[in-house]
Amino acid sequence: MAKKQISRIHYRIGDVADMFGVNVSLIRYWEEQFDVLKPYRNAKGTRMFTPADMDNLRLIYHLVKEKRMTLKGARAQIKERRGELERTLEVIKRLEQIKGKLLDIESKLPANKKN
């Protein structure tokens, strides 16, 4: 998933696509394919994704893009192992945060000289 993070209550489909580094059309397709995605539409008809939708998109992205599962397989995994998948994604997210902090610390260290 792309590093760009936006913190708000509702997300427009373009922002969601940017956050995941995918096309808007893919988000629309996933919405058709996964019952767990239920963005509401505002008065103009714009899809507005809630934090719960974002969590579901993270699961879908992880299974389809990172683990290279089929849509059918991803749907089955979400249905059967949702809690376990959410915990796994939380661990991955935390490890990425730790990695970022360690890389930041490393960049501030003086360069090692080789003899």
Residue bearing tokens 């991803």: 74
pLDDT band for position 112 (cuts 50, 70, 90): low
Q: Is 43 exposed, middle or buried (0-12, 13-18, 19+ CB in 10 A)?
A: exposed
From CA 68, how far away is CA 28, in angstroms rounded? 19
| Per-residue pLDDT tens over the stretch 77-99 | 988 888 888 898 889 889 999 99
Q: Which of 47, 55, 43, 6 is nearest to 29 (CA)?
A: 47
SS (H, E, C) 32-92: HHCCCCCCEECCCCCEEECHHHHHHHHHHHHHHHHCCCCHHHHHHHHHHHHHHHHHHHHHH
* CATH number corresponding to 11-108: 1.10.1660.10
| Per-residue pLDDT tens over the stretch 24-49 | 999 999 999 999 999 999 899 999 99
CA distances, 28 to each of 49, 83, 108, 112 (Å): 12, 25, 42, 49
